[in-house]
């Protein structure tokens, strides 16, 4: 998903560190909740990015999906498209079906 950023949106997301020094942290966090993120600058240089926990989780899920996609594409491209059995995939990671059976059940959302 590609998003375009308007210059005004980028400028409004910049927060000077001096606002924290003036005790405005609570207000800044409210702005982050409303807008999704803020770029904190110190001495006119980016110092950190503030994001909501929901945005953070969304980003982590996207990274995990990209990681899994990379593994899948790598496996599909090697050995001239050979189909892999479940046991072969497990063996590549040093696991067996017994290892999987011994693992605690996990609910996937």
Tell me the per-residue pLDDT of 33-49, one tens digit each, with 9 for 90 and over: 998 889 999 998 999 99
- 109 assigned to some structural domain: no
Cβ–Cβ < 8 Å for 49, 38: yes
Q: Are residues 63 and 47 in the same domain?
A: no
Q: Are residues 47 and 65 in the same domain?
A: no
Tell me how far apart the alpha carbons of residues 22 and 52 are, in angstroms, rounded to a whole number.
22
pLDDT tens per residue, range 12-69: 789 999 999 999 999 999 999 998 889 999 998 999 999 999 999 999 999 999 999 9
Maximum Cα interatomic distance, the chain, rounded to a whole number of Å:
62
Q: Are residues 14 and 30 in the same domain?
A: yes
Q: How many domains does the chain have?
A: 2
Cβ–Cβ < 8 Å for 86, 101: no
Cβ–Cβ < 8 Å for 91, 82: no
What is the arithmetic mean of pLDDT over 79-86? 78
- 36 assigned to some structural domain: yes
Q: Is 26 helix (H, G, I), strand (E, B) or coil?
A: helix
pLDDT of residue 71: 87
Q: Are residues 61 and 47 in the same domain?
A: no
């Amino acid at each position: 998903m590609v998003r375009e950023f308007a210059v005004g949106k980028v400028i409004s997301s910049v927060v000077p560190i001096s606002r924290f020094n003036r005790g405005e942290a609570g207000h800044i966090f409210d702005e982050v909740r409303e807008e999704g993120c803020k770029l904190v600058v110190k001495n006119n240089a980016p110092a950190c990015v503030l994001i909501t926990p929901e945005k953070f989780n969304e980003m982590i899920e996207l990274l995990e999906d990209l990681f899994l996609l990379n593994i899948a594409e790598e496996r599909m491209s090697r050995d001239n498209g050979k189909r892999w059995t479940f046991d072969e995939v497990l063996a590549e990671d040093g696991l067996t079906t017994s290892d999987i059976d011994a693992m605690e059940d996990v609910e996937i959302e």
